């Protein structure tokens, strides 16, 4: 049996919860793994040595950072799971220094709980696998865990959402309805779920590595009449402004 | 001297508690929410209203639809938009899906292991597979509704000001009607299981809820007078927690399933109402642990109501037409009952449709003070008679009864 730990840093809880949403597939996973830490689901704790550590969320406090380092130092294989962990997600995109933000929200610059500016875990430790998505597609984590259990290197995705949109034969709403859609510059893997609802891709899987053309997308949206500030914010919502143009 | 609970388990998010002991007596308990702050109000400032419900959904995965619906209601009120009844019914259906998903998660996966004596539901499943399976089936059904209405199980994008991206099909509504009726028998069994739990925790002296069962345009307390949250509720920051505490007219109060069934029993569906009457005396004792029993009754309510709504929409037919939304300067509050209790989204929006002010108060923040009081009373009751490990277990059970959602609680703006 492989030893599995799920560590949740600061986030919405969705990426940890999504593991429970595997339902019967979770029981398949449990044929290979024994859960040693998963505080949302279990009071059981024993994480001195793990084969696989899944970490969700952003590093937003000193405590998060210590927990992350613990997970890294005690596991063979570390998976950064979800856009918080891989790109920083929405809390990572909030601009300003931590003390200014604390003052705006709590009315004091004091920081007794040691909050940090939210950053993805990939900025602090080396990860073996990064799986974005807010939340990720649960079949992806299922595949990755099963692959690891069987000693197979999990595949990595590298195509934009547009491909999945075309495969599903959805009408392009960016072109046809002039609705802002981040599909062309967002990493695929969600089966174009937003476009299924007739709504533009909001970019929750983070930017497509390498081939993205944010400058092109920026120009298209500008031509459609969206103002620069609007586009800038839309681009960086899930990815700390990493998309430049 | 103090006893530390370094992390509550089987709750959503990261929190713990410190029990301060002086002269051999429990002096004080502090509930520390150390989940990092997420600054949602700053995040939404200056953003175009259309994108805001999707952003707010990220506050919490367990109740993302409550957040998107509260956000949409706040935005529509700010613009003076009224949507037709079908759209409200579909939103209500979404909220019900969320209740079913969240209550089932809490009761079967998080609390039941305490009743049966296991560290988690997975370990419990070897002996009590049927209970765990029934729970997972109900939960999966709740998620199905969330997917149909919200667009996906977690963080859907389908709920929009003025209507929906996509409307459900006849087949989807038929499936909801059929399955919800079939699952009621499981939920009834859950009521039996949780009715057998011994009460614990503090007694809630004041309850607060929205004026309609699942959402509203005002809040109500025990006197049933409607009010806006800022009239009677005050929030304050604490040095040891990222979540604030609230008082209603200077008093500690409770939101959640127990307050809802107690304040709004007449709005329950027939079977849920009968079950409420059966356990009314017990529930009226007000111990926070009775929230578990109230949640089980609400599971029955949710399943009955889901089938009623699906039937009504199937009979009438869903038009599937959005109301057009024209931004204008305005202010609006959305009040929703999230599974854990009252949720408030309050916005001021400028004439271009950008958010100029936002305030969000979540159920866990409302309950924070009562949670502390409950831990204090439980710790006082058991300190000295139980060994530390068992004491901590007991205290964790008390926290669990609130079904706290810590991710939600940590991003409150100064009032
Ligand atoms: S990536 Fe999204 S779903 Fe996952 S924890 Fe972060 S906010 Fe939640
Ligand atoms: S731009 Fe959006 S709608 Fe158009 S093909 Fe790409 S993902 Fe689909």
- Spatial separation of the C-alpha atoms in residues A196 and A208, rounded to whole Å: 20
Peptide bond into A135 cis (omega under 30): yes
- Regarding the beta carbon of A88 and ligand 1, being less than 6 Å apart is answered no
- Spatial separation of the C-alpha atoms in residues B198 and B179, rounded to whole Å: 32
* Token couple for A197: 């609802």
Q: Which of B:154-183 have CB within 8 Å of A?
A: 154-158, 160, 164-166
Which of B37, B153, B159 should we substitute to test contact with A (largest number of A Cβ atoms within 10 Å)? Answer: B37
* pLDDT tops 80 at residue A107: no
User: pTM of the entire structure?
Assistant: 0.92
Q: Report pLDDT digits (tens) over B158-198.
A: 999 999 999 999 999 999 999 999 999 999 999 999 999 88
Distance (Å) from the alpha carbon of A151 to chain B's nearest alpha carbon: 25
> Using N-to-C axis directions, what is the helix angle for B257-264 and B270-283, rounded to 10°?
110
* Token couple for B104: 């089932």
- Regarding the beta carbon of A14 and ligand 1, being less than 6 Å apart is answered yes
Q: Is B15 exposed, middle or buried (0-12, 13-18, 19+ CB in 10 A)?
A: buried
pLDDT of residue B414: 34
Q: Report pLDDT digits (tens) over A40-89.
A: 877 788 778 999 999 999 999 999 999 999 999 999 999 999 999 999 99
Question: Cβ–Cβ of A20/B411 closer than 8 Å?
Answer: no
- Spatial separation of the C-alpha atoms in residues B265 and B263, rounded to whole Å: 6
- Regarding the beta carbon of A220 and ligand 2, being less than 6 Å apart is answered no
> Using N-to-C axis directions, what is the helix angle for A228-236 and A214-223, rounded to 10°?
140
SS3 content of chain A, % helix, strand, coil (to 5): 40, 20, 40
* pLDDT tops 70 at residue B393: yes
CB A155 within 8 A of CB A128: no
Q: Report pLDDT digits (tens) over B44-68.
A: 999 999 999 999 999 999 899 999 9
pLDDT of residue A130: 93
Q: Atom 5 (ligand 2): residue with closest C-alpha? A: A162
CA B60 to chain centre: 10
Q: Report pLDDT digits (tens) over B333-342.
A: 999 999 999 9
- What's the CATH architecture for A2-149? 3-Layer(aba) Sandwich (3.40)
Q: Ligand 2: which atom is nearest the Cα of residue A181?
A: 2
* Partner residue facing A94 (CB), from B34, B39, B244: B39
* Token couple for B136: 């997972």
Stated length of chain B: 415
pLDDT of residue B409: 52
Q: Which of B:133-152 have CB within 8 Å of A?
A: 136, 140, 143, 151-152
Going by C-alpha positions, the residue among B212, B205, B168 that lies closest to residue B314 is B168
CA angle in degrees (0–180, nearest 5) for B122-B128-B131:
90
- Strand A2-8 and strand A50-56: the pairing is parallel
* Partner residue facing A193 (CB), from B7, B40, B152: B152
Residues 6+ apart with CB under 8 A from A58: A9, A10, A11, A64, A84, A85, A88, A89, A91, A92, A118, A119, A120, A121, B36
* pLDDT tops 60 at residue A210: yes
> So where are chain A's domains?
2-149, 161-236
- Regarding the beta carbon of A202 and ligand 1, being less than 6 Å apart is answered no
* Partner residue facing B54 (CB), from A15, A40, A202: A202
- Regarding the beta carbon of A188 and ligand 2, being less than 6 Å apart is answered no
* pLDDT tops 50 at residue B415: no
Contacts of A20 in chain B (CB under 8 A): 105, 109
pLDDT band at B365 (very low <50, low <70, confident <90, very high): confident
Mean pLDDT of B12-38: 81
* pLDDT tops 90 at residue B403: no
pLDDT band at B33 (very low <50, low <70, confident <90, very high): confident
* pLDDT tops 50 at residue A92: yes
- Spatial separation of the C-alpha atoms in residues B208 and B210, rounded to whole Å: 7
CA within 13 Å, CB half, A28: 16
CB B409 within 8 A of CB B365: yes
* Partner residue facing A60 (CB), from B37, B140, B151: B37
CA A83 to chain centre: 1
Q: What is the DSSP-derived secondary structure letter of residue B169?
A: P
pLDDT band at A211 (very low <50, low <70, confident <90, very high): low
pLDDT band at A245 (very low <50, low <70, confident <90, very high): very low
Please count the other Cβ atoms lying within 10 Å of the Cβ belonging to residue B389.
Answer: 8
Instruction: Compute the CA torsion angle A146, A152, A81, B57 (nearest 10 deg).
Output: -60
Spacing, Cα A57 to ligand 1 middle (Å): 7
Contacts of B40 in chain A (CB under 8 A): 90
CB of B249 within 8 Å of a chain A CB? The answer is no
Residues 6+ apart with CB under 8 A from B58: A12, A14, A89, A90, A134, B40, B64, B155
Q: Report pLDDT digits (tens) over A120-152.
A: 999 999 999 999 999 999 999 999 999 999 999
* Rounded CA Rg of chain A: 19
Spacing, Cα B192 to ligand 2 middle (Å): 50
Phi and psi at residue A173, to the nearest 5°: -80, -20
How far are the Cα atoms of A38, A213, B7, B379 from residue A35, in angstroms, in the given order? 7, 41, 17, 30
pLDDT band at A98 (very low <50, low <70, confident <90, very high): confident
- Spatial separation of the C-alpha atoms in residues B83 and B89, rounded to whole Å: 10
- Regarding the beta carbon of A182 and ligand 2, being less than 6 Å apart is answered no
Helical H runs in B45-120? Answer: 52-57, 64-79, 85-104, 112-116
Q: Report pLDDT digits (tens) over B15-25.
A: 788 888 888 88
- Map residue A229 onto helix, strand or coil: helix
User: Chain-wide mean pLDDT for chain A?
Assistant: 90
Question: Cβ–Cβ of A91/B39 closer than 8 Å?
Answer: yes
How far are the Cα atoms of A135, B25, B40, B174, B179 from residue B168, in angstroms, in the given order? 22, 58, 30, 10, 16
Contacts of B410 in chain A (CB under 8 A): 10
pLDDT of residue B413: 36
Phi and psi at residue B339, to the nearest 5°: -50, -35
Q: Which residue of A has its CA nearest to B33?
A: A113
Lowest-confidence pick of B144-148, B325-329, B408-412: B408-412
């Amino acid at each position: 049996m492989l030893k599995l730990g799920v560590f949740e840093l600061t986030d919405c809880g969705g990426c940890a919860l999504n593991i429970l949403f595997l339902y019967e597939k979770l029981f398949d996973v449990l044929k290979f793994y024994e859960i040693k830490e998963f505080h949302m689901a279990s009071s059981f704790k024993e994480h001195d040595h793990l084969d696989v550590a899944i970490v969700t969320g952003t590093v937003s406090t000193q405590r998060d950072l210590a927990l992350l380092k613990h997970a890294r130092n005690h596991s063979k294989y570390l998976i950064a799971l979800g856009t918080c962990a891989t790109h920083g997600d929405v809390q990572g995109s909030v601009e300003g220094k931590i003390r200014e933000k604390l003052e705006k929200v709590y009315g004091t610059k004091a920081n007794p709980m040691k909050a940090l500016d939210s950053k993805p875990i990939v900025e602090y430790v080396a990860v073996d696998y990064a799986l974005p998505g807010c939340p990720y597609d649960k079949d992806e984590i299922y595949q990755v865990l099963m692959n690891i259990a069987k000693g197979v290197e999990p595949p990595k995705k590298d195509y934009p959402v547009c491909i999945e949109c075309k495969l599903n034969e959805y009408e392009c709403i960016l072109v046809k309805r002039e609705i802002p859609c981040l599909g062309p510059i967002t990493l695929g893997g969600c089966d174009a779920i937003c476009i299924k609802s007739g709504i533009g891709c909001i970019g929750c899987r983070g930017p497509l590595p390498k081939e993205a053309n944010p400058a092109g997308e920026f120009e298209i949206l500008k031509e459609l009449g969206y103002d620069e500030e609007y586009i800038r914010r839309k681009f960086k919502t899930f990815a700390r402004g990493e998309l430049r143009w | 001297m103090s006893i530390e609970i370094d992390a509550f388990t089987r709750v959503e998010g990261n929190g713990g508690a410190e029990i301060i002991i002086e002269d051999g007596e429990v002096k004080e308990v502090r509930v520390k929410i150390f989940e990092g702050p997420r600054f949602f109000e700053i995040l939404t400032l200056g953003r175009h209203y259309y994108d805001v419900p999707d952003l707010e959904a990220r506050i919490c995965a367990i109740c993302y639809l409550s957040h998107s619906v509260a956000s949409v209601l706040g935005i529509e009120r700010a613009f003076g938009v009224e949507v037709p009844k079908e759209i409200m019914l579909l939103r209500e259906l979404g909220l019900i899906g969320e209740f079913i998903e969240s209550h089932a998660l809490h009761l079967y996966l998080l609390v039941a292991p305490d009743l049966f004596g296991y560290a988690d539901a997975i370990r419990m499943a070897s002996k009590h597979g049927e209970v765990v399976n029934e729970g997972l089936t109900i939960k999966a059904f709740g998620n199905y509704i969330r997917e149909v209405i919200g667009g996906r199980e977690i963080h859907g994008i389908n709920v929009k000001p003025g209507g929906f991206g996509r409307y459900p099909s006849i087949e989807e509504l038929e499936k909801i009607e059929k399955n919800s009726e079939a699952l009621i028998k499981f939920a009834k069994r859950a009521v039996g299981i949780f009715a057998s739990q011994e009460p614990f925790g503090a007694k809630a002296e004041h309850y607060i809820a929205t004026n309609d069962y699942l959402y509203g345009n005002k809040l109500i307390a025990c006197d049933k007078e409607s009010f806006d949250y800022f009239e009677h509720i005050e929030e304050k920051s604490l040095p040891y927690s990222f979540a604030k505490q609230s008082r209603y007219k200077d008093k500690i109060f409770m939101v959640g399933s127990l307050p809802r069934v107690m304040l709004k029993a007449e709005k329950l569906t027939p079977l849920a109402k009968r079950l409420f009457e059966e356990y009314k005396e017990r529930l009226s004792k007000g111990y926070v642990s009775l929230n578990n029993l109230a949640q089980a009754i609400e599971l029955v309510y949710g399943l009955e109501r889901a089938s009623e709504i699906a039937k009504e929409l199937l009979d009438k037919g869903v038009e599937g037409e959005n109301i057009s939304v024209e931004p204008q300067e305005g202010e609006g509050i959305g009040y929703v009952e999230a599974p854990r209790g009252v949720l408030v989204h309050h916005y001021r929006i400028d004439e271009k449709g950008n958010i100029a002010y936002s305030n969000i108060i979540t159920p866990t923040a409302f309950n924070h003070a009562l949670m502390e009081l409950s831990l204090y009373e439980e710790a006082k009751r058991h300190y000295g008679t139980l060994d530390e490990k068992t004491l901590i277990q007991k205290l964790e059970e008390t926290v669990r009864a609130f079904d706290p959602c810590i991710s939600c609680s940590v991003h409150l703006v100064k009032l």
